[in-house]
Amino acid sequence: MRTQRRVFEKLSESTKVELASEKIELSLADDIRDMAKRGLQIQKDLKKNLNVYNGLLRAGGTMNKKLAEVEKISKELGVKPPTEFKKLQEIADKYEEQGNAIKKVYNLF
């Protein structure tokens, strides 16, 4: 009888250890699942926000077209383009450069 009690005590001890480790494993699995869901949501939000590259490309392209018109008209009239022309050209080029860079990142998603 005494031996049987000791066997049951030992079995219950080992079962407790196994249950505790299983609880830890389940908790870790839940944590990993939650991180994966959060990562997917972050990717979705990033993709949504990165879609603004179209606007930057359009703005830069439109500015460059308008600036080309100003340059053409200035040459036809024989006058110098406005002094801020070069600065505006740099801004338009930067918009296009940034738009293309964001487009590359966007395509990763």
Q: What tens digit of pLDDT does each residue of 78-106 get?
A: 988 888 888 999 999 999 998 888 888 88
Helix (H, G, I), strand (E, B) or coil at 108: coil
pLDDT band at 50 (very low <50, low <70, confident <90, very high): confident
Per-residue model confidence (pLDDT) at position 11: 66
The rounded Cα 8 to chain-centroid distance in angstroms is 56
| 31 vs 9, residue with greater confidence | 31
| CA–CA distance, 16 with 89 (Å, rounded to integer) | 73
Model pLDDT, residue 43: 85
**The pLDDT value given to residue 30:** 84
Rounded to a whole number of angstroms, the distance between the first and last alpha carbons of the chain is: 67
Question: Does the structure show a pLDDT above 80 at 1?
Answer: no
27 or 25, which is more confident?
27
Determine if the pTM surpasses 0.85. Answer: no
How much is the pLDDT for 48? 81
3-class secondary structure, 52: coil
Q: Helix, strand or coil for residue 84? A: coil
Percent pLDDT > 70 in the chain is 83
